[in-house]
């Protein structure tokens, strides 16, 4: 059945997150802290990072509790514009109670999807899982048994534009906030990606930047690698070159053929993708060009 997150919304009624990116200079933390204090907010968690205190870029994630946040939120967003103007900030103020709505795209390989479904069902992924889209029907029964809508839309390079038209219609109908490609083995067009900039998370079955594109395990075997890995990243128009969110590796040896590498790699893929999705849901990621700052 579909999860009901009313308890989470109630628990986090007054919890907010502020993400900031700007040129580093003195006084940023003081100004942000004073602003939050002026609204009666109490800082619960704060992480910051500077690429270089002398002319670098400054990033900060602040989680705070603010009584009456629902009523104060619009005023806070309006008021923070003045602080942001002084420091030329790129910023986002997020109400934690607003649970994000997720769509999953998948092809034949189901291991990453099954991991996400388990994490969601067990309550470890705080998200409204609103639909699963696939270009194969293999996993339909498992998805629908959990009460999640499943849509089978055949997709090939020949009908890609029509398939994406259907995808976008469904995503808009279900008010999807972000998309997870759980081994969805189709290339997305630039027009589709533009609709969800830094809101499409992919899992690639290699330790990027090695073995970009198709059949990475076969190519890893041919090279005799001693480590295999997986990479979760945001999708851009450059294949497998978007901002990296998370990576991990597993040691292998000469006894492991390409099929063995795939079996070993599946467990790495599952954990890497799940961590990336959790960090996105918790607003722990700031994209900086083709890199990410991940506050854990």
Catalytic residue numbers, as ranges:
240
Query: Phi and psi for 168 in degrees, rounded to 5?
Result: -65, -40
Q: Are 102 and 177 in contact (CB under 8 A)?
A: yes
Here the tokens at position 126 are 């705080």
SS3 260: helix
Strands 57-65 and 42-50: antiparallel
Cα–Cα distance for residue pair 177/128, rounded to 1 Å: 10
Taking Cα atoms as reference points, which of 98, 96, 93 lies closest to residue 77? 93
- Give ∠ CA 58-64-65 in degrees, rounded to 5: 170
Sheet containing 150-152, strands listed edge to edge, beginning at the edge strand earlier in sequence: 150-152, 128-134, 101-106, 178-181, 200-204, 227-234, 244-251
Pairing of strands 101-106, 178-181: parallel
φ, ψ of residue 188 to 5 degrees: the values are -90, 145
CA dist 218 and 293 (Å) reads 32
| Backbone torsions φ then ψ of 135, nearest 5 degrees | -95, 10
Q: Show the tokens assigned to 183.
A: 């081994």
> φ and ψ at 256, to 5 degrees?
-90, 115
Element (H, E) at 30: helix 28-38
Which DSSP category does 272 fall into? Answer: H
Residues 31, 87: contact at Cβ < 8 Å? yes
């Amino acid at each position: 059945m579909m999860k009901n997150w009313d308890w989470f919304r109630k628990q986090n009624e007054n919890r907010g997150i502020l993400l900031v990116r700007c040129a580093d200079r003195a006084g940023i933390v003081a100004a942000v802290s004073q602003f939050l204090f002026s609204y009666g907010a109490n800082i619960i968690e704060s992480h910051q990072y500077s690429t270089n205190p002398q002319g670098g870029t400054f990033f900060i994630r602040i989680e705070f509790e603010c009584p009456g946040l629902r009523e104060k939120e619009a005023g806070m967003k309006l008021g923070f514009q003045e602080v942001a103007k002084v420091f030329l900030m790129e910023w986002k103020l997020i109400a934690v109670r607003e649970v994000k709505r997720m769509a999953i795209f998948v092809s034949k390989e189901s291991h990453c999807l099954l991991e996400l479904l388990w994490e969601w069902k067990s309550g470890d992924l705080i998200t409204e899982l609103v639909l699963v889209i696939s270009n194969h029907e293999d996993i339909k029964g498992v998805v629908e048994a959990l009460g999640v809508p499943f849509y089978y839309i055949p997709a090939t390079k020949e009908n890609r534009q029509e398939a994406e038209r259907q995808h976008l219609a469904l995503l808009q109908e279900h008010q999807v906030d972000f998309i997870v490609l759980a081994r969805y083995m189709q290339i997305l067009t630039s027009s589709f990606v533009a609709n969800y900039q830094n809101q499409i998370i992919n899992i690639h079955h290699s330790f990027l930047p090695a073995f970009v594109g198709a059949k990475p395990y076969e190519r890893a075997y041919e090279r005799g690698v001693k480590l295999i890995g997986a990479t979760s990243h945001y999708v851009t128009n450059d294949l497998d070159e978007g901002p990296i969110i998370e990576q991990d590796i597993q040691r292998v040896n000469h006894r492991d053929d390409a099929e063995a590498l795939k079996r070993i790699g599946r467990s790495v893929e599952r954990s890497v993708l799940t961590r990336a999705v959790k960090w996105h849901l918790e607003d722990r990621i700031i994209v900086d060009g083709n890199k990410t700052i991940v506050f854990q």
